[in-house]
Structure 1
């Protein structure tokens, strides 16, 4: 398997990172782990310009700061990464135990360019289970960054990286990728937080998500979509 760099964008450093980082260390003990912390301002900030933040960062290789938004943060992490294979992972996502075996198998062939895991939520609600079941299929409506995006660096660079968007940067990257390669779906489940579904209601939250995707497809600016998203989660 190619050398792996795991890139985790986050809004802040705190105890919420511990489960994600622990799983990364256990599943990929030799991987480079890069945490990219959101920083207000127009331009990315070099690591040396800010102190290393406190928090549960054991095993983290690098801590970077970048303009707030998953797009800019993921791109900053990719620029600093040394791995031939990149894994972009949300800070509330926990890798499956078999992730290393599945990754090695999927990328054994040189023509495999990118892959996602399936998704499950940390809540037993039957609708969330149904949403997770559909994540075994790749489509505009079933593949997102919370499943983890594994991609060869060379292919990532060819695609121009993520757009510097605060929302739907993952959807756009995968849209570009599908024009040139197949998005593999690995038979392991990343576990992610259902806190927004519990807070807003499972059906209501899913309708909100669907509405945002429709606006995205109709050409609404990602910055505007991010505003609507944040307003719906206050």
Structure 2
């Protein structure tokens, strides 16, 4: 058996509108300057407290905690009105992969368990992911804990696993855990960042991703 792990935000789901709106709300409520959109997208993938700390390292922990609380409030409100869409082709590929008998499918995400479960339920992805590693249970990416937990849960060796993501944090996390990595070009970090992080492969669309996975699964058989 092999293990195929996906990041969520920026890889499966295009949640940038909700993320930016929630961060805007958190900063505005405290009368703080809202970070540029590029800066907000640069921290997608980190756990929320770590993301906020990177955006405002000069603010005391109490202020950072209030930004986190306002962010969660806004994000949940937006999610109820307009859940983040999946990228075209994402659901179809996930269903094809989940139907295979030679792999475990999983996610390793900076989202909370509640956020991930809401996304899965909204888009009809129940039953696809054997392992779900979320920010509630682990240190923030790029710490390898999420991938290591997924390997332990499935019993798969690092050489038979691959981490797929759109940020340098995903690539660094996968490499730290000793698994193969695939960077996707449609997400929130520039391709140059994925290259610098050491991505084993880069793909431009879901068709190319599926082809890369077929190659990986064949090589790791």
Report the TM-score when normalising by structure 1: 0.33
Decide which structure has greater strand share. Answer: 1
Decide which structure has greater helix share. Answer: 2
Higher relative contact order (CA 8 A, sep 6+): 2
